[in-house]
């Protein structure tokens, strides 16, 4: 998958998101990212959660959590995020990254008004000064992952 920050923006709920185009095989996904006051949000196909989803809070300590709600595939979801590790080293696509934070989202979904059941777990690895270096998703629909292979910050 190739992800390119395009410079395009989208305002949603009074927040300014920056567009990233993700191309995987022949599919083109539009994803949007937002960061301010310790909150990191995304919208788009990378998580399967189309509405805004907080994937990281940089002001929390290991073990602390946050909660979100949203909709995916037309059904309501509840999201519990947690800081799993901070200051770790992580090798992604053969490259060693330092000062990495690992956050995790546990997503439950209610179908047709039923109880909330496990839907997806997403693990995010964020390297200080670089951003997302890896995403791992395991859901009732299967699993997938995205890894940073190269980057350029301008």
- Per residue in 27-48, pLDDT tens? 666 788 888 888 888 887 555 5
* pLDDT one-digit tens code per residue, 55-98: 888 899 999 999 988 877 788 889 999 999 999 999 999 999 99
Q: What is the pLDDT of residue 148?
A: 86
Tell me if 28 sits within 8 A of 22, measured CB to CB.
yes
* pLDDT one-digit tens code per residue, 105-143: 999 999 888 999 998 899 999 999 898 899 898 988 889
Structure tokens at 67: 């909660």
Separation CA 43–CA 25 (nearest Å): 20
Separation CA 142–CA 103 (nearest Å): 20
Tell me if 43 sits within 8 A of 52, measured CB to CB.
yes
Question: How deeply is 88 buried, as exposed, middle or buried, from its count of CB atoms within 10 A (0-12, 13-18, 19+)?
Answer: middle
Nearest to 69, CA basis, from 35, 119, 30: 119
3-state helix, strand, coil in the chain (%, to 5): 0, 70, 30
pTM for this structure? 0.81
Q: For 29, what's the count of Cα atoms within 13 Å in the CB-facing half-sphere?
A: 18
Q: What is the pLDDT of residue 86?
A: 96
Tell me if 130 sits within 8 A of 153, measured CB to CB.
yes
Q: What is the pLDDT of residue 15?
A: 87
Positive or negative torsion for Cα 143, 117, 45, 8: negative
Please check the confidence at residue 1 and state whether its pLDDT lies above 90. no
User: Which contiguous run of DSSP H or E holds residue 23?
Assistant: strand 15-24
Q: What is the pLDDT of residue 24?
A: 65
Q: What is the pLDDT of residue 110?
A: 94
Please check the confidence at residue 23 and state whether its pLDDT lies above 90. no
């Amino acid at each position: 998958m190739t992800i390119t920050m395009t410079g395009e923006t989208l305002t949603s709920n009074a927040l300014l998101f920056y567009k990233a185009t993700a191309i995987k095989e022949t599919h083109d996904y539009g994803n949007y990212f937002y960061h301010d006051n310790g909150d990191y949000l995304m919208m788009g196909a990378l998580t399967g959660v189309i509405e805004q989803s907080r994937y990281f809070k940089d002001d929390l300590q290991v073990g602390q959590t946050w909660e979100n709600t949203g909709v995916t595939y037309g059904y309501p979801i509840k999201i519990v995020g947690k800081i799993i590790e901070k200051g770790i080293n992580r090798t992604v696509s053969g490259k060693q990254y330092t000062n990495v934070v690992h956050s995790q989202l546990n997503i439950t979904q209610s179908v047709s008004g039923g109880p909330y059941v496990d839907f997806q777990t997403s693990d995010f690895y964020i390297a200080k000064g670089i951003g997302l270096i890896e995403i791992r998703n395991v859901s009732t629909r299967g699993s997938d992952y995205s890894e940073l292979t190269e980057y350029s910050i301008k």
